[in-house]
Amino acid sequence: MASRVVLLGPDGQLGHDVRRAHVASGDRFDLQALRRADLDIAVPGEIEHVLGDRRFDVLLNCAAYTGVDAAEDDAASAFAVNAHAVRSLAAVCAARKARLIHISTDYVFGGDAARKRPLPEDAPVAPVNVYGESKALGETLAREVHGDVVVVRTASLFGAAGIGGRGGNFVETIIRDGRDSGSLRVVDERTMSPTSSADVARVLIRMVTEGCAAGCYHVVNSGSATWFEFARAIVRGASIEATVTPCPASEYSSRAARPRYSVLDNSKAAAVFGAMSSWQEALDRHLHLRGHRQA
Ligand SMILES: NC(=O)c1ccc[n+]([C@@H]2O[C@H](COP(=O)([O-])OP(=O)(O)OC[C@H]3O[C@@H](n4cnc5c(N)ncnc54)[C@H](OP(=O)(O)O)[C@@H]3O)[C@@H](O)[C@H]2O)c1
What CATH number corresponds to the domain at position 30?
3.40.50.720
Q: pLDDT tens digits, the chain, 295 residues: what are they?
A: 779 999 999 999 999 999 999 999 998 899 999 999 999 999 999 999 999 989 999 999 999 999 999 999 999 999 999 999 999 999 999 999 999 999 999 999 999 989 999 999 999 999 999 999 999 999 999 999 999 999 999 999 999 998 877 878 999 999 999 999 999 999 999 999 999 999 999 999 999 999 999 999 999 999 999 999 999 999 999 999 999 999 999 999 899 999 999 999 999 999 999 999 999 999 999 999 988 876 5
Distance 13 CA to ligand 1 centre (A): 7
Answer yes or no: are the C-beta atoms of 245 and 186 closer than 8 Å.
Answer: yes
- For residues 50 and 69, give the distance between their C-alpha atoms in angstroms, rounded to a whole number: 30
Give the list of residues 6+ apart from residue 19 with CB closer than 8 angstroms, or none: 7, 10, 31, 33
149 is a domain residue:
yes
Task: Report which DSSP code applies to 214.
Answer: S
Nearest Cα residue to 167 out of 11, 61, 288, 8: 11
Angle among Cα 290, 159, 76 to the nearest 5 degrees reads: 150
Helices 13-24 & 197-210, crossing angle to 10 degrees? Answer: 50
CA atoms in the 13 A half-sphere facing the CB of 146: 29
- Specify if 252 maps to a domain: no
Residue of 62, 156, 219 to test ligand 1 pocket, by largest number of atoms within 8 Å of CB: 62
First to last CA, the chain: 38
Q: Which pTM was predicted?
A: 0.97
Distance in angstroms (rounded) separating the CA atoms of residues 115 and 132: 17
Q: What are residue 7's DSSP bridge partners?
A: 33, 60
In a domain, 36, yes or no: yes
Collapsing DSSP states into helix, strand and coil, what is residue 5?
strand
- Ligand 1 atom index nearest CA of 85: 31
Are the C-beta atoms of residues 216 and 267 closer than 8 Å to each other? no
What residues are labeled active site?
Answer: 131
Going by C-alpha positions, the residue among 292, 13, 25, 270 that lies closest to residue 166 is 13
**Structural domain range at position 112:** 4-166+195-223+264-277
Q: How many Cβ atoms sit within 10 Å of the Cβ of residue 183?
A: 11
Pocket of ligand 1 (CB under 6 A): 8-9, 11-15, 36, 40-42, 62-66, 81, 103, 105-106, 135, 154-157, 163-165
Asked whether 220 and 157 are in contact (CB, 8 A), the reply is no
Residue 211 within a domain: yes
> What's the confidence (pLDDT) of residue 294?
63
Distance CA 164, CA 158 (A): 12
Residue 228 lies in a domain: no
Smallest CA-to-CA distance from 151 within 198, 89, 65, 72 is with 89
Q: 183 alpha carbon to ligand 1 midpoint, in Å?
A: 31
Q: Ligand 1 centroid to 85 CA: how many Å?
A: 13
Is 70 within a domain?
yes
238 is a domain residue:
no
**Cα(129)–Cα(106) distance, integer angstroms:** 12
- How far apart are the C-alpha atoms of 265 and 191, rounded to whole Å? 13
Domain count, the chain: 1
Instruction: Give just the sign of the alpha carbon dihedral 39, 42, 46, 50.
Output: positive
Asked if residue 147 belongs to a domain, the reply is yes
Q: What is the per-residue pLDDT for 162? A: 86
Cα of 284 vs centre of ligand 1, distance in Å, is 24
E-state strands within 35-182: 58-61, 99-105, 149-154, 157-158
Task: Give CA–CA dist 228/230, Å, rounded.
Answer: 5
